[in-house]
Amino acid sequence: MNPQRSYLRGQGGFTLVELIVSVAIGALLLSALTSVVLTSWRGATVASSRVEASSQIRNFEYFAYDDFARSGIPNGSACPCTTQPLLLSGVTYTWDGGSFLDRAVASTGATEHAATDVSAFTWYVDTNSTVVVSLTITIQAYSESQTFRFYPRVNP
């Protein structure tokens, strides 16, 4: 057997060109995978923010409909649009200007958050004696606004 031929047979491996091509293909695959993972993460973040914002608005709505059903038109509505506390009979809604919309019940003295992550809260009484409340919840980069109309209760 020729000693040079056995030496060449033992030198198997990749050439520099093959190595560069395989590294380039691997980098492309990793960048594509990273893009998919980041897009999925952003989508999940927005979806969870949307669910949380809807939950906060629903929480306010749950309390407010009951409170307005037991109450008449709030007093002190001289301004066309105000962020002042909303005074109902026995219940007061107060926005701290930051992130909490608090609900205080006069009979029990209890105060709880009717909504959190509140970025805007305004209310006014329109010409039909309807109370219009506008509420905006902002969680991370997602913002959701809702306007409620509370009609006065007609007592026979």
pLDDT for position 41? 93
> Could you read off the pLDDT of 28-44 as tens digits, one per residue?
999 999 999 999 999 99
pLDDT for position 151? 77
Q: Which two tokens stand for residue 14?
A: 């990749």
pLDDT for position 156? 45
If you write DSSP's letter for every residue of 61-118 in order, what string do you get? HHHHHHHHHT--PPS---SSSB-S-EE-SSEEEEE-SSS-EEEEETTT--EEEEESSE
With contact defined as beta carbons under 8 Å apart, do 91 and 102 qualify?
A: no
How much is the pTM? 0.69
Residues (pLDDT < 70) of the chain are: 1-11, 75-80, 152-156
User: What phi and psi values does residue 120 have, to the nearest 5 degrees?
Assistant: -155, 140
pLDDT for position 35? 93
Mean pLDDT of the chain: 83
